[in-house]
Structures are given as C-alpha cells and as structure tokens.
Amino acid sequence: MKRATLASAIVATSAMVLSIVPAHADSTGVTATSIKLGVSTPLTGSAGLVYGKVPGAMRAYFDYINANGGVNGRKISLVIRDDKYLPTLAATQTTNLILKDKVFALVGALGTATHSKAYTAAALAKNNVPDLFINTGFSGFTNKAKYPTTFMVLPTYAMEAKVMAKVIKDNFPGQATFMIAQDDEFGSDGVAGFTTAGHKFTASPTLYPQGTMTAARAEGALTALGAIPGKPVLVLFGTTDVTATILKAAEKLELTKKFTFLAGSVGADANTLLALGVKSTTIDGIVSASFMPDAKDLTDPYVKQFIDINTKYNKGITFDNYVLAGMNSAMLTVQALRAAGKNLTRAGLISAIEAKGAKFASAGLVPLGYSATSRVGYNGYWVSQLNAKGEGKPYGGKLVIYTTDSGAGTVEVSNFVRPTMPKNGIPTNS
C-alpha cells in the first residue's frame, strides 16, 4: 500500500511532467504572412445542429479573401473549436485558443452563458484580446467596463422586443397578445423590451427553461390559447427548434390559422423550420423581425456574392441564414483588420473598429452602432413575412427599417441605406 501510494504519486507526477510543453515567447498570432483567428462555438449537440454552419461559413469567406491576396498580404486562418454549447468546454476551448493556439483575436463566439464565462476564464480583458462580432444579443455584453474588448454583431434582444411591440401596435390593434419565451437572459431581455415599450400582454408571458419545450407542453399552451376569440398574436421568443415544436403542435391541433405568429429573429430560420418538419403552409404568413436580408433573396448583391463563395469554398453546405451571418461577420472582420493597418496590434484593431466600424460595408439592412462608447452591432430591425417557400418578404410589401436602443429610447423609422458592397465582395477599405 505504502509503496503503491508512492509509486502512484511518482507515476502521476511523471505523467504531468511528460505532458509539459515549454512555454513559448508571447505571440499575437500575426506574422508577416499570416493572421491567426479563433472561435469557440457549438459544432455538435442540439445547438451545433442549428448554429454549426456559422464557423465554416466564416472560414470559407476567409479562404476566398486569401485566394484574392489576403489582408495586406497576410493570409487569414481560423481555428475552430467545438464547445458543444457547454460553459466548461467554452472556457477551456477559449483558453486553448489564447494559450495554445495563440490566436490574434476571437471572432464569432456564440452563446451567452458560454461566452460570458469563457471571456473571464481566458482572461480576454487582461490580455486585451479582441473579441469580435459575437453571436448573442444579450444586452449585458454592451457593458464596456465588463467586456472591454467585445464587439457584438446582433442587435440586443431588448431592441428586437421593442420593435416587435411597435409592429403589434401599428398592425394588430385590438387583438389579444401572448408570448412564449425562453426562461433565461434571452427571454428576460425580450420581456423587458416589451415592458420598456409599454406593451402589455393579455396574460403573463409563458416562460420555459431551455430544452424543456416538449410537444406535449406546446400543445397544452396552444390548447389554452385556442379558446381566445379573434386572431391573437402569439410572440415566440426562443430558438428555431422550439418555434418548430410550437408550430407542429399548432398543426396537430389545427390551430395554424388561429394565431398570427410573430417569431423572433433567433427562432425564425425558414430552412431549419422546414428541415425540422414544419409544413410550408404553416410557415406561410409568419411575421418576423430581422436585420439581415433574406438568404433566399437572390436580388440582394451581398446574398448573391456569398452564395457564389459558398458554392466554391464551402462545398456541400446549403446556403441559409446562418451561412449568410457567418460570411457577413467574416467580411466585417476583414474590414476591421484592414482598418487597423499594416502594423497590426490588438489595441489597434479595437481602436479601428471604434473609429471606423459604423461605416463598414455589410449585408445588414440596418445601421451598425460601433463607436468609442458603443459596442452594439446592428441597432435595429426590419419586419418580414415568410411565404410558403420560406422566403422573407417585407411585411406589407414595403421595406421599413426601425432603429432603437436597448434602453428607454423610442423606436424610430430610419432612412438608412447600407453601403454598397465592395467589388466582388472583397473589401478595400483602410
């Protein structure tokens, strides 16, 4: 026993010593010919099924840029690590990106619970690591004091709820309104946004913890609402898989025409809804808020360009809203790297986005809000309506862009016109 204990200790110590790799000198991940970026995001698990295309789309766009000369002569590489949407893995994978892969910056991290922990665990603030274009709308990330290197790309969920409240007020007066929302910071941001906008639901919002919206629960909720007279507006503030569960429950109960479904941007991807078994006739008529053009809109020059890139550099992957979002973030990243100049530094990159980010070209149909004091990406929405083909068309036939903030500011109609797409989708800014 005694000898075995000692032996065990020696074996364990030796194993640790053998696993040690000598610490290298500090590196920013930039060389004369390369820039190394990284992302920790779900590739597998239920979140991976929905969002797993985003990092591949970013890489495809970077490959396209690399094939066209790179950024100031440097080729971009993207290290992708799977965090399965688990906080522990997000913390370790992000730490690996910083300490092991030695990336210059992070781009496109996804998830609030995951990224908020990864940010601290990987000491991104202390190391001044740029944390670009994160895929979460949690308003907490706008806190520059807590997340000094983070730049959001999505508008906040509170903004989205405020725009939705205006849509209801302008288009569905007198109808009963209900809300089914995810019971976390995502849903609570949304509920708070409706409250700020002065909207009062007919009944308190139904909140469900993530991963608990079963078919039976959805059927129970819809059965209760089915008796409400008129055509109630049902706000769905959750992920696309939950929207699918609720819509399929409506199909089963023959209630698809009973409600006007108003789905949040996170939960209204038409391709995913169809893939999850929702009928095209059910999708027809769903109202949603969005800040990006529809991925099926071939008249949009950004969409058309990104589809071409996807065909050539992301073979076998169907182009949809997630691929569009990934390529758009990558295009913003390339412009940020260019704006930071040839002598690329982490501090320089952050300053460049603060100074020039609001003018970057992007597929988004609403303005970008970057400044020295704001880390908010897109700061508004347009309202779309899906047809049976899953295409999102402007609600009422005319594109109306709304802008607002996450606080008490009003929702305004904007005459914003997005910057023209750089030739062939290759930024040339400085």
Residues making contact with other proteins (CB under 8 A): 1-9, 11-13, 15-17, 19-24, 43-44, 80-82, 85-88, 90-92, 95-96, 99-100, 112-114, 116-118, 120-121, 123, 126, 138, 140, 182-186, 188, 209-212
Q: Which two tokens stand for residue 272?
A: 């995913």
- Residues 326/108, Cβ–Cβ less than 8 Å: yes
Which C-beta is closer to other proteins: that of 2 or that of 200? Answer: 2
Q: Smallest gap, in angstroms, from Cβ of residue 34 to other proteins?
A: 17
Which C-beta is closer to other proteins: that of 240 or that of 404? Answer: 240
Entry field: residues in the chain: 430
Q: Smallest gap, in angstroms, from Cβ of residue 75 to other proteins?
A: 18
Rounded to whole angstroms, the Cα distance separating 94 from 79 reads 11
Rounded to whole angstroms, the Cα distance separating 211 from 234 reads 20
Instruction: Find, among 203, 276, 202, the residue nearest to 239 by Cα.
Output: 276
Which C-beta is closer to other proteins: that of 236 or that of 353? Answer: 236
Q: Smallest gap, in angstroms, from Cβ of residue 100 to other proteins?
A: 5
Rounded to whole angstroms, the Cα distance separating 247 from 221 reads 12
Q: Smallest gap, in angstroms, from Cβ of residue 103 to other proteins?
A: 13
Instruction: Find, among 179, 290, 187, the residue nearest to 238 by Cα.
Output: 187
Which C-beta is closer to other proteins: that of 181 or that of 303? Answer: 181
Which C-beta is closer to other proteins: that of 80 or that of 165? Answer: 80
Which C-beta is closer to other proteins: that of 266 or that of 383? Answer: 266
404 class by beta-carbon count within 10 Å (0-12 exposed, 13-18 middle, 19+ buried): buried
- Residues 333/107, Cβ–Cβ less than 8 Å: yes
Tracing tokens 């619970």 back to the chain, one arrives at 113
* SS3 assignment, position 38: strand
Which C-beta is closer to other proteins: that of 24 or that of 423? Answer: 24
Q: Smallest gap, in angstroms, from Cβ of residue 102 to other proteins?
A: 10
Q: Smallest gap, in angstroms, from Cβ of residue 25 to other proteins?
A: 11
Q: Which two tokens stand for residue 34?
A: 């390369």
Q: Smallest gap, in angstroms, from Cβ of residue 223 to other proteins?
A: 23
Instruction: Return the ∠ at Cα 272 (arms to 270 and 276), rounded to 5°.
Output: 115
